[in-house]
Amino acid sequence: MKPVDLRSDTVTQPTAGMRAAMSAAPLGDDVFGDDPSVNALQEKIAGLLGFEAALFVPTGTQSNLCGVLSHCQRGDEYIVGQMQHCYRWEGGGAAVFGSVQPQPLEHQPDGSLALADIEAAIKPDDPHFARTRLLALENTLGGKVLPFAYLQQATALAKSRGLSTHLDGARLFNAAVAQAAADGGDPRGEARRIARLFDSVSVCFSKGLGAPVGSALCGSKELIARARRIRKMAGGAMRQSGLLAAAAGHALEHQLDRLAEDHALARRLADGLQGIEGVQVEAPQTNILFVDLAGPARERSAELVPALAREGVLATGLYRLRFVTHLDVDAAGIDRAIGAIRRFFRA
C-alpha cells in the first residue's frame, strides 16, 4: 500500500497534466534569455503578484539568497526572525556568500516580530555597527498566517526608517487561500495584496503547488537584474529549464485553489487526534499541523515515528511532531494516519 507521506509538501509527485505540460513545453536557453517557457512563467508570476519582473531559480533557498544579496552589500545587515527559513535553515548563505549579517529577533506567539523589537534592532548610522538595510519576513511561518494588518504596519515601519523589505513567501499561496477564506476574498487577489507590501517576494512552486522543482524571486527590474547576476555566481543559471518552468506554470494555473483542500485535511487530522492523553494538538491555520507530546506520551516519543513508518505513515519530529498535508494525501490517508497514531498510544 502506498505510504501516507506527511513529512512535507515537498514530496509531491507531478500530476499527469503537469507531465503533459512539461512534455509539450517549448524550450530555449535561459542563460541567453530565450527560453519561452521560462519567460512566460516569469511574466505570469510577476504579473500575478504585481511586480515588474521575476527570476526563475532552482530552489527557495537560492531565491532568498538572491533577494537578500540584491538588497544588501557587504557589511550590511538584515532583520529576520529566529525561526525564519532564510536565517535558520539556509546554511547562513547571506553571511557566507555575501558578508551580510543577520540580526535575528524572537517571534511572538502568532509568528510575527514585535514592531518595538524591529524598531530597536535598527542600528544608527555609526561605523561601529553593520548598516541595517532590510527587513525580512516569512508568510506562512510554521503554517501560521501573519495577519495582514501586521504586515502593513511592519512594512510601513521599515519604509519609514529607510529599509527595504523582503518576503519569504515559500507558502505565500497557502497564506492567501487562508486569508481569502477568512475575508471572503479571492486567493489570487489576496496573494497580490500581501506581495505588494514588499520590495521583493520569493515564491516556491515545489511545495503546496506541487511542481517538482523551482521558485521565483519577484521585484523591480533593477532588483531582478542584480539577482540574475547573483544567480549566475551561485550556479543557478540553467539552460533548457523551460521543462521545469512549464511544471510551475501548470501548478499556478491548476493547483492553486485546491490548497484549501490541504487546509481542510490538516484540520481533519487535528480533530482526529483530540483527546489522546499527552498529545497536545495545535490548531492548524493552513496545511501544517504541529503536535507536542507531554507526560507518558513524551516518554515514548522516540518510538512513535518508526512505529508510524511501519504502518506506512511518514512524519518527522520527536517531542514536537510535524505533519504536512498536500495534493498526494487524501481523506482516507488522513484517517489511516489518525488510526495509526491512536493505536500506538493505546498499545
How many Cα atoms occupy the beta-carbon half-sphere of 31 within 13 Å?
Answer: 8
Beta carbons within 8 Å of 122's beta carbon, 6+ residues apart:
79, 132, 161, 163
What's the pLDDT tens digit per position in 15-59?
A: 999 999 999 999 999 999 999 999 999 999 999 999 999 999 999
- Is a pLDDT exceeding 90 seen at residue 1? no
Place of cell 530597536: 120
pTM: 0.97
| Residue 139 phi, psi dihedral angles, 5° rounding | -150, 115
DSSP character at residue 196: T
Beta-strand relationship, 131-138 and 76-81: parallel
Report helix angle 331-346 to 301-310, nearest 10. 130
| CA triple 109-114-119, angle to 5 deg | 165
d(Cα 200, Cα 176) in Å, to the nearest integer? Answer: 17
User: How confident is the model over 134-163, as a mean pLDDT?
Assistant: 98
- Is a pLDDT exceeding 90 seen at residue 251? yes
What's the pLDDT tens digit per position in 263-297?
A: 999 999 999 999 999 999 999 999 999 999 999 88
The predicted structure's pLDDT at residue 219: 98
- Is a pLDDT exceeding 90 seen at residue 320? yes
Three-state SS for 65-120 is HHHHHHHCCCCEEEEEECCCHHHHCCCCHHHHHHCCEEEEECCCCCCCCCHHHHHH
- Is a pLDDT exceeding 90 seen at residue 347? no
Q: How confident is the model at residue 226 (pLDDT cuts 50, 70, 90)?
A: very high
Helix, strand or coil, per DSSP, at residue 314 = strand
Please name each of the domains of the chain with its CATH number.
Answer: 16-254 (3.40.640.10), 258-346 (3.90.1150.10)
Tell me the average pLDDT of the chain: 97
CA 2 to chain centre: 26
DSSP character at residue 144: B
Beta carbons within 8 Å of 93's beta carbon, 6+ residues apart:
61, 64, 65
What's the pLDDT tens digit per position in 151-197?
A: 999 999 999 999 999 999 999 999 999 999 999 999 999 999 999 99
Burial class (CB in 10 A: 0-12, 13-18, 19+), 261: middle
Give the three cell numbers for residue 55: 527570476
User: How confident is the model over 4-16, as a mean pLDDT?
Assistant: 97
- β-sheet with 316-317: strand ranges across: 279-282, 288-293, 320-324, 316-317
**What share of the chain has pLDDT > 70, as a percent?**
100
- Is a pLDDT exceeding 90 seen at residue 340? yes
CA dihedral 271, 276, 277, 283 (to 10 degrees): -20
The predicted structure's pLDDT at residue 100: 98
Q: Which residues share a beta bridge with 58? A: none
